[in-house]
Structure 1
């Protein structure tokens, strides 16, 4: 595959070539370096286009919450609608996802039914098994193990429940909600959103169960009290981390904690601003940007607040932060890592996706510019390749 420019581990390569064999990158370099290897193989020539790793959204709710929020579905059509949303993600240049199973009042679908979907679609999906508290007046508690049945708050820290979640968990998503969530509801319906749900002893016990099972743990968290609690208890990944302060950022750095930023929204507090993300990157913290789709948008994004936004917004919500990073001396690859390599690490897939390098899966985009940094419209993503196969072509 020959093109004018692509973004790789080597930096930006002008007039570059990727050689693909059995779905993986066999070689990568300039045309002059690799031209002798191009005989007798099929060639795609993308001339003046840009090739980058495909995008990764490591925190979303496309299968459990979104279908019932967007479509008039029943249980019989629920996962079919979810597959439509997965295809929309693929159209948006996203080829790997971190999907949450929290337990939902909307529809009673089993963990096994959700997980089966990943064998039916051409995306790479990791599932986070969670419990959730919705900040209604009486607090509404659910776990992925209890479907659409409400549970008592003490079940959220029940060792048997936590142990089963940990054993089946595939990546550190928002495994528990330290703060009760708005869950897309207006504040009038969730007056207790943001309330802390666990004592330090309860949270430390939950973290220890995950670690004893050889699993990292991620949490939904925002605000000083919740973030302090997460860091004190050794949580591995902070999802949202809205309103994190400088002292906490230093602790995140020292603890080697990762952060998944959600500029679209997701908690009771103002979401991650570009200045917040710049500060984290300057500290050398692994930070990813994710959609938490589908959500109504934060007010500062100047979008329709009555609409739910999803995968198509990943580049849009990342652009202000990526531009600010670039203005502060970070190169194209470092900016793009927020949507590619860093979320690959969150999913535990950094050895196969997230960058263009020899031995990596041939998952990449052909575009009119660097996603997020130079382009935000999905129409500017011309081709999407997964395992060396062209799945989307505009």
Structure 2
């Protein structure tokens, strides 16, 4: 393929001020979107340029999953690997994400008892993979009968609860973190264990004073901070302390939603679960959106689905991965459409909003002049019309076709 070409589509859902362009086209050069417009204009303006005709298909930005655990926790959960094959497993998992239409990830590095790898080692291993991966350096508390704590800095060595607010550790995590992922776990997490194994999931790990100091450290380094959080008291602490991004926010009240909007807080919703409480329902995501809070939908993969969430289509507790992003987002996206939201605004929950969370909203997540040519050729709008990854026909990353399913 030449480094300059025109893509033609039945319609382009740009997730921008241009909205949806029917019989639309994009001029791509050197991996960037140079111009977006109508095919009628382009057929004359770019008459000498190669045209790739997808006029029977929808063109959208590729998907962004801004909260995942694909490289650290997933390999040991999915495969009988050793340290020698850990990264091989991770690369296979990343390829599966790419084949699911995802070209950007927000990956959490928490510290893991079976993985003595540094965040820099994870960064190194993904350098040549056609994905944009942002890393959040985090600590984690797991709600076993005896609480267990790890950090991305101390790797496979556990720490004590008091160490979670240690100035030096927090400072190093802030410096290593690319974006506001779940940098700290306000509540002990159930991780991907069953409730009987993690009876203390949900316990609050910090005092407000500790939280204030942690937030101050991140902000002093010019970094935003995000948190794993659920339940009224824990969410109230994050709002009091001025955190920037709430991951999960399960159980958030109407009053807290209003306050989150006033403080400019962003929320990463995880309809599949991830905390000790019922996850974000379609109604919850609609309510957040109606309050003009920037909402991103993420998988938190690999994760077992919350058993009592009626909107989830799963009948088992098997771990679910990035291929489920469209499926778990569908009920919420459908409800937004029923409430009059435009398809571009709806799709932003899987594209532009999570790209903004990663700090890359000016690079991808929309089909806009000057952005990376990361886009999908699809049978319909991902998550709204399409939930099966087989209906994602082509995936382009920085102008190059990286996934190709036959029409």
TM-score range, shorter chain: over 0.9
* SS in structure 2 of the partner of residue 96 of structure 1: strand
* SS in structure 2 of the partner of residue 115 of structure 1: helix
- Residues 108-187 of structure 1 mapped to structure 2, 5 A cutoff: 108-187=116-195
Picking from 206, 219, 236, the partner of 1:198 is 206
CA distance in 2, matches of 1:348, 1:244: 24
Alignment partner, residue 359 of structure 2: 348
CA distance in 2, matches of 1:200, 1:262: 25
Tell whether the 8 Å contact from 1:2 to 1:17 is kept in structure 2 after alignment.
Answer: yes
Picking from 372, 383, 389, the partner of 2:383 is 372
Alignment partner, residue 5 of structure 1: 11
1:85 to partner: Cα distance: 0.6
1:111 to partner: Cα distance: 1.5
Picking from 43, 46, 53, the partner of 1:35 is 43
For residues 270-306 of structure 1, what are the alpha-carbon distances to aligned partners after superposition, in whole Å with 9 as ceiling and x for unaligned?
0000000000000000000000000011222141433
Higher mean alpha-carbon deviation, 136-145 vs 114-123, is at 114-123
CA distance in 2, matches of 1:370, 1:5: 10
* SS in structure 2 of the partner of residue 357 of structure 1: coil
User: Which ranges in structure 2 are unaligned for 5 or more consecutive residues?
Assistant: 1-6
Alignment partner, residue 325 of structure 2: 314
Tell whether the 8 Å contact from 1:265 to 1:271 is kept in structure 2 after alignment.
Answer: yes
Does residue 223 of the first structure (1) align with residue 253 of the second (2)? no
Total equivalences in the alignment: 394
1:34 to partner: Cα distance: 1.9
CA distance in 2, matches of 1:41, 1:354: 25
For residues 122-153 of structure 1, what are the alpha-carbon distances to aligned partners after superposition, in whole Å with 9 as ceiling and x for unaligned?
10000000000001111001000111111111
Does residue 336 of the first structure (1) align with residue 354 of the second (2)? no
Tell whether the 8 Å contact from 1:15 to 1:31 is kept in structure 2 after alignment.
Answer: yes
Higher mean alpha-carbon deviation, 28-37 vs 68-77, is at 28-37
User: Which ranges in structure 1 are unaligned for 5 or more consecutive residues?
Assistant: none
CA distance in 1, matches of 2:61, 2:313: 29
* SS in structure 2 of the partner of residue 34 of structure 1: helix
Runs (4 or more) in structure 1 with deviation over 3 Å come to none
Does residue 325 of the first structure (1) align with residue 320 of the second (2)? no
Tell whether the 8 Å contact from 1:26 to 1:358 is kept in structure 2 after alignment.
Answer: yes
For residues 27-65 of structure 1, what are the alpha-carbon distances to aligned partners after superposition, in whole Å with 9 as ceiling and x for unaligned?
111111222222222211012200000000000000000
Picking from 76, 81, 85, the partner of 2:89 is 81
1:115 to partner: Cα distance: 1.1
Tell whether the 8 Å contact from 1:118 to 1:124 is kept in structure 2 after alignment.
Answer: no
Higher mean alpha-carbon deviation, 116-125 vs 249-258, is at 116-125
Higher mean alpha-carbon deviation, 42-51 vs 278-287, is at 42-51
Tell whether the 8 Å contact from 1:65 to 1:106 is kept in structure 2 after alignment.
Answer: no
CA distance in 2, matches of 1:303, 1:351: 35
CA distance in 2, matches of 1:309, 1:339: 17
1:389 to partner: Cα distance: 0.5
* SS in structure 2 of the partner of residue 151 of structure 1: coil
1:162 to partner: Cα distance: 0.3
* SS in structure 1 of the partner of residue 255 of structure 2: helix
1:106 to partner: Cα distance: 2.3
Q: TM-score by structure 2 length?
A: 0.96
CA shift in 2, pair 1:117/1:37, >3 Å: farther
CA distance in 2, matches of 1:285, 1:306: 31
CA RMSD of aligned residues (A): 0.8
